[in-house]
């Protein structure tokens, strides 16, 4: 017989970025190899835990803890993960060059580079390769690394554009001199200058690629420009390099807009905070804040750390984190987030998270990680490029060699081959999808939706059916008094009497009664000691009389009139929980409570339908009566009630079989298995719990359902733009290659259309940054 033990995974493997990390698998395999029956992950309220099944005859709990700690330390010491900012990339090919170079290093387990985000996701075995060796390899290629994105100097930001414009000036001068003078060498001098200025970055990037065995777009352009010069077409070769370098510079600056959309969020958190100590206020760096310290946030200042309001009343603009359009009122006991803007009142906030652990910091970290996760279309274009570029080079070689054997003019054939090289360069294909993913993820973060990768952005754009958890998702997750039936006396007496007893109980239903009384401004005296009967009701003395509150089963059947019983049954049939309130021998009335639907739920479902969602389904462990009542109130298509967690998984699987692409929306804890089974798992309230951030593919940062149509609409728009960019890219190649092959277009028209299509797909992608 085995026993189980659960341990906090973060304490065992402190450096893992998420549960999919390979080190989790390594740990479970290592523990099972050392004699444990089974080791796996489970989700709990506090987050991910490691569940261990062991034979108590072989291990004590103390021995087991020591074994896990030692195994985790062994893995953490050996395998390292880093997310690094890369300085010096100026084209998508740069990312490929770095990936290929690192993949050949022994000990590098994963190296994924995002040109759009300028990030490297790295995992390596420190027993086989050191971090310094990896850094030297990257620097040898001409790039540099940093742990965070830093400010670039003027020259590094504008060098590409300056060289491109200089190339254009040389090209113009060369053309003018060719028209104005008979001197053949003078135009060549300026064309040579255009080659040097326009080809500097292109030649450098091509050389980096060739050193790692990569034939890329830059290589094709350099070969084409050299070929044009070889046949005396200096002007067209210079035009090629000028337009190519100008296109690169404009493309790079456009991509910076998308990057800055994320970086701007990171700059919202203030650098310093006012800490209150012994009645005085001391300014300290935010990084020096410790849990439990109290910081003063004055009106108009940004909150420096995640925390809880101790004193004060104000409205806080939470849009940087949750995307909420209106400020949220905050008072004692409410959570606040770093980077949000305090309104009119002064707040005293107790720090609950360090600066690097804040919701904003975690959100930015996950977005940076998401941008290195390739979408299905990105994976397709990578595979396409890997085959296409060598095929183009081979085809051009044959075009140069074969026709002259049959008497064709070599110069004409060679020039035509160079034009084909330009036409076949898949620049737009390489940049179109990453630009759309980067823009989509950045815009989603700004709107309060965290999308953890291009794959989830694309998948949500294809979803046809959505399943919802009930409690805390479709409903508020807390009961409220929804109906009051007075039988004797008045409503105030009924509520005051009920609240006097229920205020001494911590039960959620009791607290709902107290809140209803407080909302009406009622006050009451303290009731006597409670006598509770589990699952039925309570009794105490109040105002000189014995007061009883409970369900029908708590009262003798013959003590409750038939008319009252019928009224209770009617209320319960609508999904409500009922309480009878009796004072002495008088039945004062009936309180009906229910977990009410979120006010935005009905409108949200209508918007989803307008976006093309064909099926909405509620999955709940609650009874069918309650489930159907809630579903009718908000307009859900179907309800499946009384489900266990594994039955929810089965329901999602059935939905997927019928609709292929499905989403599951829940709280990120109890619904984790069903969310994992769905195409896309969406968690509510990412700003309120780390569990939601960790468990879902997409997190709605605000605890509000109206962000779900935003996420779906943005994903659909992103997918449309990705598909548009894909067809534009392939269409241009499909038209230009035959046109240049048969001589209908030369290098000049080819490079104009080529660079035009590249800029078109980038600016098409940037439209997502304005998505409403």
Catalogue the active-site residues. Answer: 469
- Using CA atoms, how far apart are residues 179 and 160, in angstroms rounded to an integer? 29
Helices marked H in 291-426 — which ranges?
319-322, 359-370, 376-405, 410-424
Residue found under tokens 């009794």: 539
- Using CA atoms, how far apart are residues 268 and 266, in angstroms rounded to an integer? 6
Choose among 713, 768, 710, 668: nearest CA to 324.
710
Can you state the angle between helices 154-180 and 234-266, rounded to 10 degrees? 160
- Using CA atoms, how far apart are residues 445 and 449, in angstroms rounded to an integer? 5
Choose among 601, 379, 582: nearest CA to 489.
582
Angle at alpha carbon of residue 627, lines to 622 and 631, rounded to 5°: 150
Token reading at 694 = 């960790």
Q: How many CB atoms lie within 10 A of CB 376?
A: 14
Residue found under tokens 């039925």: 536
Instruction: Give the distance from CA 356 to its chain's centroid.
Output: 18
- Using CA atoms, how far apart are residues 705 and 641, in angstroms rounded to an integer? 21
- DSSP characters for 261-314? HHHHHHT-S-SEEEEEETTEEEEEEGGG--TT-EEEE-TTPBP-S-EEEEE--E
For residue 329, the cross-strand partners are 315
C-beta separation of 333 from 374 below 8 A: no
C-beta separation of 384 from 430 below 8 A: no
Angle at alpha carbon of residue 281, lines to 276 and 284, rounded to 5°: 85
Residue found under tokens 């400010």: 151
- Using CA atoms, how far apart are residues 142 and 207, in angstroms rounded to an integer? 11
Choose among 746, 759, 770: nearest CA to 240.
746
**Alpha-carbon dihedral sign for residues 665, 667, 668, 670:** negative
Residue found under tokens 């109906």: 483
Contacts with 66 (C-beta within 8 Å, 6 or more apart), sequence order: none
Separation in Å, CA 85 to CA 148, 355, 378: 6, 20, 21
Choose among 208, 179, 195, 201: nearest CA to 240.
195
Angle at alpha carbon of residue 613, lines to 608 and 615, rounded to 5°: 110
């Amino acid at each position: 017989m085995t026993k189980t033990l659960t341990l906090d995974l973060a304490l065992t493997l402190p450096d893992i970025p998420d549960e999919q990390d390979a080190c989790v698998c390594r740990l479970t395999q290592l523990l099972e190899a050392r004699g444990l029956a089974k080791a796996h992950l489970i989700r709990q309220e506090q987050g991910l835990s490691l569940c261990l099944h062991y034979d108590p005859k072989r291990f004590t709990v103390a021995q087991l803890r020591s074994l896990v700690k030692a195994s985790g330390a062994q893995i953490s010491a050996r395998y390292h993960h880093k997310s690094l900012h890369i300085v010096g990339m100026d084209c998508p090919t740069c990312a490929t060059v770095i990936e290929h170079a690192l993949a050949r290093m022994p000990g590098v387990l994963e190296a994924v580079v995002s040109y759009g985000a300028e990030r490297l996701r790295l995992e390596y075995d420190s027993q086989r390769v050191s971090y310094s060796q990896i850094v030297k390899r990257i620097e040898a290629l001409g790039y540099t690394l940093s742990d965070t994105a830093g400010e670039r100097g003027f020259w590094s930001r504008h060098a590409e554009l300056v060289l491109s414009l200089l190339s254009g000036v040389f090209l113009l001068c060369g053309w003018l001199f060719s028209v104005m003078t008979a001197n053949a060498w003078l135009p060549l001098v300026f064309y040579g200058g255009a080659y040097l200025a326009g080809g500097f970055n292109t030649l450098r990037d091509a050389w980096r690629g060739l050193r790692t065995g990569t034939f890329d777009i830059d290589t094709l352009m350099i070969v084409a420009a050299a070929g044009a010069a070889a046949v005396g077409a200096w002007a067209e070769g210079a035009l090629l390099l000028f337009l190519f370098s100008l296109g690169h510079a404009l493309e790079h600056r456009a991509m910076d807009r998308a990057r800055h959309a994320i970086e701007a969020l990171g700059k919202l958190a203030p650098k310093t905070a006012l800490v209150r100590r012994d009645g005085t206020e001391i300014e300290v760096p935010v990084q020096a804040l410790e849990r439990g310290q109290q910081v003063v946030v004055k009106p108009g200042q940004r909150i420096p750390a995640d925390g809880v309001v101790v004193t004060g009343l104000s409205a806080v603009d939470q849009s940087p984190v949750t995307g909420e359009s209106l400020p949220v009122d905050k008072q004692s006991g409410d959570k606040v987030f770093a980077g949000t803007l305090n309104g009119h009142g002064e707040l005293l906030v107790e720090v609950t998270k360090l600066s690097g652990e804040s919701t904003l910091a975690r959100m930015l970290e996950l977005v940076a990680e998401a941008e290195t996760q390739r979408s299905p279309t990105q994976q397709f274009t990578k595979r396409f490029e890997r085959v296409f570029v060598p095929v183009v080079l081979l085809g051009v070689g044959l075009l140069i060699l074969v026709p002259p054997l049959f008497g064709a003019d070599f110069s004409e054939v060679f020039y035509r081959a160079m034009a084909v090289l330009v036409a076949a360069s898949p620049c737009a294909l390489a940049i179109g999808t990453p630009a759309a993913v980067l823009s989509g993820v950045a815009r989603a973060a700004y709107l309060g939706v965290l999308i953890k990768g291009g794959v989830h952005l694309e998948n949500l754009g294809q979803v046809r059916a959505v399943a919802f958890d009930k409690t805390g998702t479709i409903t508020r997750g807390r009961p409220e008094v929804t109906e009051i039936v007075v039988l004797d006396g008045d409503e105030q007496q009924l509520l005051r009497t009920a609240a006097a007893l229920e205020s001494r109980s911590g039960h959620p239903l009791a607290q709902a009664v107290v809140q209803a009384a407080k909302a009406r401004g009622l006050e009451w005296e303290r009731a006597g000691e409670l006598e509770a009967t589990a699952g039925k009701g309570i009794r105490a003395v109040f105002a000189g009389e014995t007061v009883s509150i409970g369900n029908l089963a708590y009262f003798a059947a013959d003590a409750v009139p038939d008319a009252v019983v019928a009224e209770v049954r009617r209320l319960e049939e609508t999904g409500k929980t009922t309480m009878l309130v009796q004072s002495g021998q008088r039945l004062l009335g009936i309180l009906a409570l229910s977990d009410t639907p979120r006010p935005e739920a009905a409108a949200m479902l209508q918007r989803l339908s307008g976006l093309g969602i064909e099926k909405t389904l509620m999955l709940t462990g609650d009874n069918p009566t309650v489930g159907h009542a809630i579903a009718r109130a908000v307009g859900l298509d179907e309800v499946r009630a009384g489900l266990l967690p594994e039955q929810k998984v089965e329901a999602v699987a059935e939905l997927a079989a019928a609709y292929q692409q499905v989403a599951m929306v829940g709280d990120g804890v109890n619904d984790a298995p069903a969310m994992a089974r769905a195409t896309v798992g969406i968690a509510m309230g990412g700003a309120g719990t780390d569990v939601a951030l960790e468990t879902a593919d997409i997190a709605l940062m605000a605890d509000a359902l109206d962000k779900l149509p935003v996420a779906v609409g943005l994903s659909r728009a992103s997918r449309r733009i990705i598909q548009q960019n894909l067809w534009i890219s392939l269409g241009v190649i499909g038209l230009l290659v035959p046109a240049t092959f048969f001589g209908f277009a030369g290098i000049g028209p080819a490079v104009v259309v080529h660079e035009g299509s590249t800029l078109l797909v980038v600016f098409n992608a940037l439209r997502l940054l304005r998505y409403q």
